[in-house]
Amino acid sequence: MTASGRPSPGRRADHLAISRHIRPGELVLDVGCGDGQLMELLQQDRGARTRGLEVEQAGVNRCVAKGLAVVQGDADRDLPVYPDDAFDAAILSKTIQEMARPKFVLGELSRIARRVIVSFRNYGHWRVRASLLTSGRIPALGANRAWWSDGARRPCTARDMAELAEELGLSLTAITAASGATGDRRSLTRFNWTAEELVFVLERGERPGALLSAAPEPSQHDP
């Protein structure tokens, strides 16, 4: 996927933010791995073992030619190809907002991997809120384009993402902004105001929803 509106020649900031949550030697699935940049980074910097899932033929061929293991498939449909607990971590790098079935995909990933790492654009950022409040328009994050030509198919905020995680019984154990700032579940409100891109580390099981229900900022969504 090439969801980034800011093509950068070097390493993507969100990739670096993701890599901090991967431990050496872990087996990692990168969903929507494109041409394998993140997998290369994880191998080089973290000594991780990687597998990719990519829908586009060109990306698949480039991964294969780099010696990266990649399965051609569509995350919305083909995740059942992976068995339970096959991976230490599964990564959705700026793809969840492009999915037809984000809840299904996230649920599948939490079945496949103990830890799911999701990076996404945060539409809760103050500029978005200010723009909506003052002009009634959503600014295109990261790009100066019209809403129909760029941006997420499913714009959501950090709090929205946390809500989906809770719905699936996943704990939000760490938050990292693409800027490098880190925090945990208690920092959600601050990050929701200040971060344009976020990385969530979601873990299955132990304390389903407990932290979210204790969140200081009350939910503004209907139950």
Binding region for another protein (CB under 8 A) out of 63-71, 89-97, 118-126, 214-222: 63-71
Q: Are 12 and 4 spatial neighbours (Cβ–Cβ below 8 Å)?
A: yes
d(CA 122, CA 197): 5
Single-letter code of the amino acid located at 199: V
CA distances from 192 to 72, 120, 128, 143, 196 (A): 34, 12, 11, 19, 8
Give the alpha-carbon dihedral of 155, 161, 167, 171, to 10 degrees. 170
Binding region for another protein (CB under 8 A) out of 58-66, 89-97, 137-145, 185-193: 58-66
Closest CB 184 distance from another protein, rounded Å: 32
Helix (H) or strand (E) holding 7: none
| Beta carbons within 8 Å of 111's beta carbon, 6+ residues apart | 84, 85
Choosing from 86, 138, 181, 211, the residue that interacts with another protein (CB under 8 A) is: 86
Helix (H) or strand (E) holding 46: helix 37-46
Regarding 130 and contact with another protein (CB under 8 A), the answer is: no
Regarding 43 and contact with another protein (CB under 8 A), the answer is: no
Closest CB 155 distance from another protein, rounded Å: 31
Binding region for another protein (CB under 8 A) out of 5-13, 70-78, 159-167, 168-176: 70-78
Choosing from 17, 38, 39, 70, the residue that interacts with another protein (CB under 8 A) is: 70
Choosing from 51, 115, 125, 185, the residue that interacts with another protein (CB under 8 A) is: 51
Regarding 143 and contact with another protein (CB under 8 A), the answer is: no
Contact residues for another protein (CB under 8 A)? 27, 51, 57, 60-73, 78, 80-83, 86
